[in-house]
């Protein structure tokens, strides 16, 4: 048995985040084929992305406080067990409705994305926490980078159900690893729910907390909109096969991996806010460039996916630092803050993913998707500028008081 306070290895935290990311995107190249197989419109099957993201948001919102109260370890183990059962259900589903029900239950694995961040915050403070979160998400970024490629190849060789079989198998492997290695990091038996509720207004009144949350939410929203719309754009705008869509899907993950490395490397030296600002600027500039190219009549997959890679780099700078920032407001509520921030990011992503799926119709091109993503990136940039403005005001007030 694992000792109560034995810190988990970094590879375990990466694996937990990775299996959550895998379940979100490994099957994306199969979406058009799944719609044909079940005999439904693409927009219906796209709910397996947007509705799944929405369910993930709710479950993160609940999972954070529960992990603050009863610990990180039991929450992770229970979620993985439910995920494995739900994955079996997706494999046996006879119709689209049954499939979507089990797909929503699969969303329980989303808590495996919030818990590693909270574990890092349990063990480290401030910029050091941002640096370690960068390393965790840098390793996790490898999974969504290669998953769509593997998913596209599996779809062409064995059909879409092979992707869900891989999900279940990896969920089992990660569950065994977590059982053996994931020691509890919550101190003093966790924070009682009543005390958590009493502390919630402190989070609710914090400009820093909401600024970090909005920056993460809107930056992540670019990526989630991309998840919802890129399979359609790849097939109908650029004429790519499922395997080719899978290859191009690696673009944001390559950028995100690079951004995570830079964040881990420089967070302590440059600070959270500066890296968030740089990342938000990169994200907005890349998407604005791609939108301008499309509006100018330049329809090229390398320009589109190259800009998406730069967007991923920006997100790789924003997300670890914004997550560390929001958890630093009340460290004893790290799980709650991580869950609330993650829920906001995923809920916003669900909305943008659904909007992208609804607006992308034959003949629409990639313009609706790029408009959504560019506006979301602009919002993320505005959010971190709001935080910086507020902190500058507080600094001026402190100087005046000291005088």
Helix then strand then coil, % of the chain, to nearest 5: 85, 0, 15
**Residue matched to tokens 């959504």:** 372
Q: State residue 403's pLDDT score.
A: 60
What distances in angstroms separate CA 367 from CA 62, 245, 287, one per listed residue?
36, 18, 11
Per-residue pLDDT at 229:
79
Give yes or no for a contact between 265 and 136, defined as CB atoms under 8 angstroms apart.
Answer: no
Question: Would you state the pLDDT for residue 141?
Answer: 65
Token pair for 329 = 């407001």
Instruction: Residue 316: name the closest of 269, 258, 241 by CA.
Output: 258
**Segments of the chain with pLDDT less than 50:** 1-4
By the 8 A CB rule, do 87 and 218 touch?
no
The pLDDT value recorded for residue 3 is: 45
What pTM value is reported for the model? Answer: 0.70
Instruction: Given CATH 1.20.140.10, say whether it is the number of domain 10-402.
Output: no
What's the confidence (pLDDT) of residue 105?
Answer: 94
> For position 6, what pLDDT does the model report?
67
**DSSP assignment letter at 1:** -
Cα 182 to Cα 12: distance, rounded to the nearest angstrom:
7
Domain locations along the chain: 10-402
Cα 12 to Cα 284: distance, rounded to the nearest angstrom = 33
Nearest Cα neighbor of 249 from 31, 74, 11 is 31
Q: d(Cα 26, Cα 282) in Å, to the nearest integer?
A: 26
Spell out the residues 6+ positions from residue 218 whose beta carbon is closer than 8 angstroms to its own: 348, 376, 377, 379, 380, 383
Q: CB-based burial of residue 39 (10 Å sphere; 0-12 exposed, 13-18 middle, 19+ buried)? A: exposed
pLDDT at 198: 65
Give the model's pLDDT for residue 257: 82
* Angle formed at CA 356 by CA 343 and CA 141, multiple of 5 degrees: 55
Q: How far apart are CA 338 and CA 247, in angstroms?
A: 31
């Amino acid at each position: 048995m694992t000792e109560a306070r034995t810190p988990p290895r970094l590879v375990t935290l990466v694996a937990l985040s990775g299996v959550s990311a895998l379940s979100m995107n490994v099957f994306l190249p199969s979406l058009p084929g799944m719609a044909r197989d079940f005999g439904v419109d693409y927009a219906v099957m796209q709910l397996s992305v947007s509705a799944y993201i929405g369910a993930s948001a709710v479950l993160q919102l609940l999972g954070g406080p529960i992990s603050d109260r009863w610990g990180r370890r039991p929450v992770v183990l229970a979620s993985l067990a439910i995920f494995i059962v739900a994955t079996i259900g997706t494999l046996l589903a006879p119709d689209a409705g049954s499939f979507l029900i089990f797909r929503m239950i699969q969303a329980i694995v989303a808590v495996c994305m919030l818990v590693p961040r909270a574990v890092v915050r349990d063990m480290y403070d401030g910029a050091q926490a941002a640096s370690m979160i960068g390393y965790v998400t840098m390793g996790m970024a490898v999974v969504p980078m290669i998953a769509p490629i593997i998913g596209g190849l599996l779809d062409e060789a064995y059909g879409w159900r092979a992707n869900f079989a891989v999900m279940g198998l990896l969920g089992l492997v990660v569950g065994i690893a977590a059982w053996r290695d994931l020691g509890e990091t919550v101190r003093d038996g966790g924070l009682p729910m009543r005390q958590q509720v009493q502390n919630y207004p402190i989070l609710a009144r914090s400009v820093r907390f909401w600024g970090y949350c909005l920056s993460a939410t809107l930056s992540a929203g670019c990526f989630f909109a991309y998840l919802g719309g890129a399979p359609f754009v790849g097939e109908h705008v650029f004429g790519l096969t499922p395997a080719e869509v899978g290859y191009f899907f690696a673009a944001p993950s390559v950028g995100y991996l690079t951004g995570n490395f830079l964040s881990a490397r420089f967070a302590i030296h440059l600070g959270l806010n500066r890296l968030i600002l740089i990342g938000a600027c990169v994200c907005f500039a890349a998407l604005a460039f791609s939108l301008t190219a499309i509006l100018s009549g330049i329809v090229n997959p390398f320009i589109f996916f190259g800009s998406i890679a730069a967007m991923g780099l920006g997100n790789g700078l924003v997300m670890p630092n914004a997550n560390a920032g929001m958890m630093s407001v009340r460290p004893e509520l790290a799980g709650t803050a991580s869950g609330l921030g993650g829920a906001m990011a995923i809920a916003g992503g669900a909305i943008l993913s659904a909007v992208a799926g609804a607006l992308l119709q034959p003949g629409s091109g990639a313009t609706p998707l790029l408009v959504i993503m560019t506006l979301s990136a602009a919002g993320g940039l505005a959010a971190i500028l709001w935080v910086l403005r507020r902190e500058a005001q507080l600094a001026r007030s402190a100087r005046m008081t000291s005088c």
